[in-house]
Structure 1
Amino acid sequence: MGFVQLAEGELHYQLDGPVDAPVLVLSNSLGTHLHMWDAQMPAFTEHFRVLRFDTRGHGQSLVTPGPYRIEQLGRDVLALLDALHIERAHFCGLSMGGLIGQWLGINASDRLNRLVLCNTAAKIGEPSVWNPRIETVLRDGPAAMVALRDASIARWFTPDFAEADAAAAKQITDMLAATSPQGYAANCAAVRDADFREQLSAITVPLLVIAGTEDAVTPPSGGHFIQERVRGAEYAEFYAAHLSNVQAGAAFSERVLTFLLQH
């Protein structure tokens, strides 16, 4: 574990895997932190130096006044790479992390080798969804985060998975309850305002898009939209709700590795 000093505070990160291996950056979803990727670590660290970090406003990273912008979060990633002297890396982001990945693919392709966008879309939701959530979280604070945690189980996991692997579901949803209300609201605004629909064709790095068949937050249609607009993009779909990396586990990891290890 470590911290990189940004202008406004510290960004929390963790590096695992062989020191001389290619770097793979993993970017968390809204309301989680770097440990959402724990299930992937045994497989990924066989081949990569894995760099996980808590997005601004999450986990142990800085919480600055909102609203945030996806560009701002993308520049945090570039600052992290610069601080660790990493010239280029693979990048895999889920949901909000996938929006950050899109921004990087459009604006900083020289820093990327391959890009994986999971359970995301070029535009996620409407202001009518985000604004009431932001208002509630800022008004009710930690109590609102607990309520969001309880509601998120149905969005993040299919009912059969939530029942069969309740411990895994709880480990992830507890991250939401522990997230800073201010940080969460500021990141909700970043997701609300992001719209890359007209810019996707600017992505030229090799791309894999992953979707969950039962994902109501970012349905497969959003993944197909991205794939169709990025030349040569690959597409994969798993039986999962919003957090396919957790629910599809080993199959998710295997598909990502197959893509990243192509020459």
Structure 2
Amino acid sequence: MKIARLGDIGLHYRVDGDPDGAPVVFANSLGTDLRLWDQILPLLPQGLKFIRYDKRGHGLSTCPPAPYSMGALVTDAERLLDQLGVRDCVFVGLSIGGMIAQGLATKRLDLVRAIVLSNTGAKIGTKDMWQDRIGAVRAGGIEALADPILERWFSTGFRETDEFLAWRHMLLRQPVEGYIGCCQAIAGTDFYTPTAALTLPALGIAGSVDGSTPPDLVRETIGLIKGSDFRLIQGAGHLPCVEKPEEYAAILTEFLTAQGHV
């Protein structure tokens, strides 16, 4: 287990694949840790360097008191990549990770040569919606909202599998303060203008039954970037890399290859 000390924050990260390969960086969703990507990494091309990390308040990273800002989450990613000597990566972000991808690409094009915006938006929900969720979590813990959250994350069929229980446990063991802090970061973010100014290769991925970031939101967001592509994974919810890892990996491999990153 590796920790990058970034000022007052320690970020847990992991490097897999070829240490000398072209870097692909993964940022996970709200309420999950870097294990989100476990199933797709073995399905991606050999010779790449895969970097995953737990954002602040998640996994084994430091969990400072809320609130968090999106700027702080973007700066955490920036400092991690600078410390690891990463340049010209393909940055794959899912949900809040996709927001971090948009912010990082806007701020540091020397770090990012292409982005994958998976199950995300330039703006997700409303401030009132996020405040209601924060209030409910403060009152009753994450368990009070676990069932409706998981219904948005996964299709009906997947929720009947044994594997689903592990994801439920991951959500319930998420630090409340980290969850609330990241909810506040999402609530305060509107990237429509900066994302529309991006000029790098970009791919959007959506799940057809995603209840958190519906396909139309992902399509609208990726459509802000000229020359971008959009792919829909049928029958998948908010975490298609978990429900449909083979299809997700195939789409990602196609994009990496098209960018000459493989």
TM-score range, shorter chain: over 0.9
Aligned to 2:158, which of 158, 161, 171?
Answer: 161
Write the distance in 2 (CA, Å) between the matches of 1:222 and 1:109: 24
1:261 matched residue in structure 2: 257
Task: Judge conservation of contact 1:89–1:114 (CA < 8 Å) in 2.
Answer: yes
The residue type paired with residue 91 of structure 1 is F
Write the distance in 2 (CA, Å) between the matches of 1:47 and 1:242: 29
Tell me the CA shift for residue 197 of structure 1.
Answer: 1.3
Task: Judge conservation of contact 1:44–1:50 (CA < 8 Å) in 2.
Answer: no
Write the distance in 1 (CA, Å) between the matches of 2:50 and 2:16: 5
Aligned residues: 258
Question: Quick check: which one's helix share is greater?
Answer: 1
Tell me the CA shift for residue 45 of structure 1.
Answer: 6.2
The residue type paired with residue 250 of structure 1 is E
- Gap runs ≥5 in structure 1: none
Task: Judge conservation of contact 2:67–2:185 (CA < 8 Å) in 1.
Answer: yes
Write the distance in 2 (CA, Å) between the matches of 1:47 and 1:260: 12
Write the distance in 2 (CA, Å) between the matches of 1:73 and 1:191: 10
2:96 matched residue in structure 1: 96
Task: Judge conservation of contact 1:200–1:230 (CA < 8 Å) in 2.
Answer: yes
2:144 matched residue in structure 1: 147
Write the distance in 1 (CA, Å) between the matches of 2:128 and 2:96: 18
Write the distance in 1 (CA, Å) between the matches of 2:46 and 2:69: 34
Q: After superposition, where does 1:111-260 map in structure 2 within 5 Å?
A: 111-140=111-140, 144-163=141-160, 166-239=161-234, 240-260=236-256
Task: Judge conservation of contact 1:56–1:62 (CA < 8 Å) in 2.
Answer: yes
User: Which sits farther off after the overlay, 221-230 or 247-256?
Assistant: 221-230
The residue type paired with residue 194 of structure 1 is T
Q: Identity of paired residues, percent?
A: 35
Write the distance in 2 (CA, Å) between the matches of 1:56 and 1:200: 23
Q: With structure 2 as the length reference, what TM-score do the two structures score?
A: 0.94
Task: Judge conservation of contact 2:136–2:144 (CA < 8 Å) in 1.
Answer: no
1:6 matched residue in structure 2: 6
Structure 1 runs (4+) deviating above 6 angstroms are none
Write the distance in 1 (CA, Å) between the matches of 2:67 and 2:241: 28
Check 1:177–1:45 CA distance in 2 against 1; reply closer, same or farther (3 A cut). farther
Write the distance in 2 (CA, Å) between the matches of 1:38 and 1:87: 23
User: Which sits farther off after the overlay, 89-98 or 153-162?
Assistant: 153-162
The residue type paired with residue 173 of structure 1 is R
Q: Secondary structure at the match of 1:39?
A: coil
Write the distance in 1 (CA, Å) between the matches of 2:249 and 2:74: 24
The residue type paired with residue 184 of structure 1 is Y
Tell me the CA shift for residue 133 of structure 1.
Answer: 1.5
